[in-house]
Structure 1
Amino acid sequence: MEPSKVQSEGGLNVTLTIRLLMHGKEVGSIIGKKGETVKKMREESGARINISEGNCPERIVTITGPTDAIFKAFAMIAYKFEEDIINSMSNSPATSKPPVTLRLVVPASQCGSLIGKGGSKIKEMRESTGAQVQVAGDMLPNSTERAVTISGTPEAIIQCVKQICVVMLESPPKGATIPYRPKPASTPVIFSGGQAYTIQGQYAIPHPDLYCPSNPQQLTKLHQLAMQQTPFTPLGQTTPAFPGLDASPPASTHELTIPNDLIGCIIGRQGTKINEIRQMSGAQIKIANAMEGSSERQITITGTPANISLAQYLINARLTSEVTGMGTL
């Protein structure tokens, strides 16, 4: 963030670089069909907008230009995200509109100035803009940068970004900054019935080369989680199930009960999560209606043993992330 001064008629006008951290879905929204949205943003704002390459769940979007161009680009991104929120709500019963959220990536050496003595600066920013601002306590992996999350209405976010830019210009980073680079997506692997599956898009694909008991180092945390979370023994079935083969074992049924207050995280808004689990596992999943006086709901999973194990694992993973507070991700 080495600001090079640009002569301007009054006011703040220097060249700045701001980095944003986005999920793949958000990046897709910014790029638009055939890159039309980002092209329009570049043309109308006059800012340079670069998006990091790679098959990563997270991408870095870099916005460079004179401050007024940056603010225009930011405004366009914030309004685009708001439009996405409105579109996703148009067919949902939710009445309150969730705020727009943007994540900036800021050198840790500048975060102290953003927070201010005893939190005074960040408090002032929150109060004067109406946006929520949070500076992450830890640095992003393998970098000296922290995530700064801003959420609120697009107008509040734009005001907040303006104030953050002023602070960053007044106190440049100290020392070398190691920029955060998102890691490529390591394909999650799920074990079921002696068979390894990788998730590709919406589907679980059998993966023949991955399961190697003689090399336990290959088991990542996720694999271990999968091993712990699928204690399912197929009923009278000892052969591993390979979906797609004619000799696939007959369908069986498995039932589990889930507390009422956690059922929402499995169903998702308008059934999005449960449909995802159905598609990925290939199993049929029925959720019984709430029984009067009961604090639990019955879930019936039907399919091959492999489908059932996979569905169970995905349901368990949702529950785990909800209970550990990661359900928002």
Structure 2
Amino acid sequence: MESPESHITSTTANTTTTDEVTQKQTSVPVKSSSISDDKERPTYIKFLVSNAAAGSVIGKGGSTVTDFQSQSGARIQLSRNNEFFPGTSDRIIMISGDFGEVTNAIELILSKLLSEIHFEDGDDAEPISKVRLIVPNSCCGGIIGKGGSTIKSFIEESQAGIKISPQDHTYVGLNDRLVTVTGTLEEQMRAIDLVFSKLLEDAHYAHSMNTPFSYAGINLSGYHGYSYGYMVPTVGAVPYNSVNYRPNGSRARYHNNKEDPSDSVTIGVADEHVGIVLGRGGRNIMEINQVSGARIKISDRGDFIADTHDRKVTITGTKSAICAAENMIKQKVASVTDRESLGKAEI
């Protein structure tokens, strides 16, 4: 995107020479001043967190979020515990303030969530996780750049994995996309700083600051097949501009031909990933059942889809409930496969 400063012309008297005009037009301090002004203006960023992570961010009686607001100077808002980003079971966090306040608040939140992952894993290695930023569709072109040049440079500079989803036409009225940043806290913060700085240059982003915080008015337009993603993985993996159609661990699927409101779909989940779908004490699958409204049954050990090592996961319910449950299962599996692929890339 061409910056507004490139259109600035001299308004001095007619006696101003061509050299003087050229010097004023190409003056570096003008651009630097504008960038500084952009970072001092009120702005915002939105990203997703799970219900469990949202509780951790809020803290007992709101103590943690109050402390984070005090430390950063930013305002931190969360969607209600039953208000999710369309197609997910994740809540929305919106942070507002100037550039420095917003990035400070993000770092406080991510640092806390990563420290809890580190504690649960009991691993000495620096934890790797992902954060999904919500970005207006109209702003994604600037992040990608011509031929993917901008996002490629962001990946190389930050060493984080960056993935931009396509616009999701499954939900009528949804004009946002997800930018997934994967890596250590330091890598994530470098990537977020680069992406956020780019967004500040886009007038569309500033105008979207006052759009509704909730996605309650977004409607499911119909049941579609596998979701797919424009994936920009970490450096050293597949080419940065490749389109990724992999189902994130979910493979074969079968439909019945019933016309009644209750339908049934069977998908395959790799045997080694069934544990993450179930969760400790069945916590994850209970959450998926409750949030989606679908009924989920996982085949017994050794009961695989033919010619695979994938367990059968049968989802029963309305088409919208099935779609929601399937998306949630894919996200659970993707959280493991992303970390596995990053681990292999580092070896």
What TM-score comes out, normalization by structure 2 length?
A: 0.54
Counterpart of 1:157, as a letter, is Q
- Specify the code of the residue in structure 2 equivalent to 1:224: D
Does residue 240 of structure 2 align to residue 263 of structure 1?
A: no
CA distance in 2 between partners of 1:64 and 1:96 (Å): 32
Corresponding residue to 1:69 among 97, 101, 104: 101
**Could you report, residue by residue, the CA deviation over 1:17-72 in whole angstroms, capped at 9, with x for unpaired residues?**
11112222221221122212111110101101111225133322111111111111
Q: 2:148 aligns with which of 119, 135, 140?
A: 119
2:199 maps to amino acid:
M
CA distance in 2, matches of 1:75, 1:175: 22
Change (3 A) 1:13 1:312: closer
Q: Which residue of 1 aligns with 2:128?
A: 99
1:154 has 2:193 as partner: no
CA distance in 2, matches of 1:59, 1:275: 18
| Partner SS, residue 334 of structure 2 | coil
Describe the superposition over 1:130-150 as per-residue Cα deviations: whole angstroms up to 9, x where unpaired: 111111112473222111111
Q: CA deviation at 1:112?
A: 0.5
Please, which moves more after superposition, 134-143 or 102-111? Answer: 134-143
Q: Does the aligned pair in 1 maintain the 2:51–2:81 contact within 8 Å?
A: no
Letter in 2 for 1:152: G
Q: Percent identity?
A: 24
Which residue of 1 is the match for residue 233 of structure 2? none
C-alpha separation in 1, matches of 2:63 and 2:205: 38
Is contact 1:125–1:160 with CA below 8 Å preserved after alignment? yes
SS in 2 for 1:143: coil
> What amino acid is aligned across from residue 105 of structure 1 in structure 2?
I
C-alpha change, 1:181 and 1:69, in structure 2 (3 Å) is same
CA distance in 2, matches of 1:9, 1:321: 43
Tell me how far apart the structure 2 counterparts of residues 97 and 276 of structure 1 sit (CA, whole Å).
Answer: 25
CA drift of 1:266 comes to 2.8
Q: What are the superposed Cα offsets for residues 65-105 of structure 1, whole Å, 9 maximum, x if unpaired?
A: 11111111011111112112112213xxx886652211111
Equivalent position to 2:204, from 173, 191, 205: 173
> Take 1:169 and 1:9, find their aligned partners in 2: how far apart are those partners?
9
The equivalences for 1:284-295 within 5 A come to none
Matched letter for residue 118 of structure 2: I
Decide which moves more: 132-141 or 73-82.
Answer: 132-141
Change in Cα spacing, 1:88 to 1:68, as seen in structure 2 (3 Å) is same
Report the Cα distance in structure 2 between the residues aligned to 1:26 and 1:47, rounded to whole angstroms: 19
Aligned residue runs from structure 1 range 189-200, under 5 A: none
Distance 1:271 1:136, change over 3 A: closer
Which among 17, 21, 25 is matched to residue 52 of structure 2?
25
Count residues in correspondence: 237
Aligned residue number for residue 224 of structure 1: 263
- Contact 1:134 1:148 survives alignment (8 Å): yes
- C-alpha distance 8-34 of structure 1, shift in aligned 2 (>3 A): farther
What SS is found at the alignment partner of 1:138?
coil
Aligned partners of 2:183, 2:310: CA distance in 1, in Å? 35
Deviation at 1:9, TM superposition (A): 12
Q: 1:38 aligns with which of 52, 55, 65?
A: 65
Give the distance between the partners of 1:118 and 1:171, measured in 2 at CA. Answer: 19
Partner of 1:89: 121
Contact 1:144–1:179 (CA under 8 A) maintained in structure 2: no
Return closer, same or farther for 1:69/1:9 CA change in 2, 3 Å cut-off.
same
**Where is the helix percentage greater, Structure 1 or Structure 2?**
2
- Aligned AA for 1:171? D
**8 Å Cα contact 2:277/2:285 also seen in 1:** no
Q: Give CA-to-partner distance per residue, 1:115-144, whole Å, 9 cap, x none.
A: 111000100011101111111112473222
Relative to structure 1, is the Cα distance of residues 19 and 312 closer, same or farther in structure 2, using a 3 angstrom cutoff? closer
Name the CA shift for 1:117/1:89 in 2 (closer, same or farther; >3 Å).
Answer: same
Q: Give the alignment partner of residue 48 of structure 1, picking from 75, 78, 102.
A: 75
Q: What is the TM-score when the length of structure 1 is the normalising length?
A: 0.57
Contact 2:200/2:206 (<8 A) preserved: no
Task: State the one-letter code of the partner of 2:334.
Answer: T
Q: What is the RMSD computed on CA atoms of the aligned residues?
A: 4.7
The 1:66–1:96 alpha-carbon spacing in structure 2 relative to 1, beyond 3 Å, is: same
Structure 1 stretches lacking a partner, 5+ long: 1-6, 185-214, 230-258, 289-294, 300-310
Give the equivalent residue in structure 1 for 2:305.
Answer: none
Any stretches of 5+ residues in structure 2 without a counterpart?
Answer: 1-32, 84-88, 218-258, 290-294, 303-307, 317-321, 336-347
